[in-house]
Amino acid sequence: MDQKIPEIMTELRQDIVRVPKVIHDASGILIFGKRIRSIIFTTDIAIIRNTDADAVIAVYPFTPHPAITKSIIEAADIPVFSGVGGGLTHGQRSAYMGMFAEAQGSLGVVVNAPTPVETIKSLSTVVDIPVIGTVTSKHAQIDEKLAAGVQIINISAAKETAETVKHFRELYPELPIIATGGPDEETIQETIEAGANAITYTPPSNGILFSKKMEKYRKQEQEGH
């Protein structure tokens, strides 16, 4: 018998960004005793402070910078997986970024799909948190990267994500897999059934959320008159 979970909420916090409930069907990944099932994909501090996700994955299309990592970790009240490059930014800089991210409190570090094996080796020898390797296709060769220190893979293969998850789950039955969930609960469920342990969720933008809030305010003003 499922027991109802008590919830504490205030009027000021009721508009938090909630991840789809179907993500709770995922097994989760235990990292240092913390069970992670839902991971919000954003670098927006306002959203990070107002979500019910278990963690945040903070990767962005620029060279990783300590100031960005520090700001996100300080603002977050949930665990952070920090991007440390691996594509254009690799080698010693990625290793230094990993050390800094761990020192600031990151629960894990994320490397891009093109990351060289040598960079993964350098990174994994200096951090004591999981190295998460991004995978963008089922054709990716990950054996060497796993041997070099990648402990979790993060699959982001657009519309082929569920198929890619299934492919790697069959090859690596025990490998922790994070994957993008797609646009709706149906695609999230499909990705979980394919073998994903945790799901990344992309929230609506700050602009979209603010637009909804403004519409609510306008309706309240109209009703008031």
pLDDT 10s digits, 3-52: 788 988 888 788 899 999 999 999 999 999 999 999 999 999 999 999 99
Tokens, residue 208: 């979209």
Give the span between the Cα atoms of 98 and 84, in whole angstroms: 6
Taking 70 as the threshold, does the pLDDT of residue 178 lie above it? yes
Write out pLDDT tens, residues 201-217.
999 887 787 787 787 77
Taking 70 as the threshold, does the pLDDT of residue 90 lie above it? no
Helix (H) or strand (E) holding 35: strand 34-36
CA distances from 7 to 117, 137, 138, 152 (A): 45, 39, 40, 31
CB atoms closer than 10 angstroms to residue 122: 20
Q: What percent of the chain has pLDDT over 90?
A: 76
Q: Which fold has domain 11-224?
A: TIM Barrel (3.20.20)
Name the 3-class secondary structure at 64. coil
Give the span between the Cα atoms of 130 and 106, in whole angstroms: 10
pLDDT reported for residue 1: 52
CB atoms closer than 10 angstroms to residue 74: 11
Give the span between the Cα atoms of 225 and 220, in whole angstroms: 9
Domain ranges of the chain: 11-224
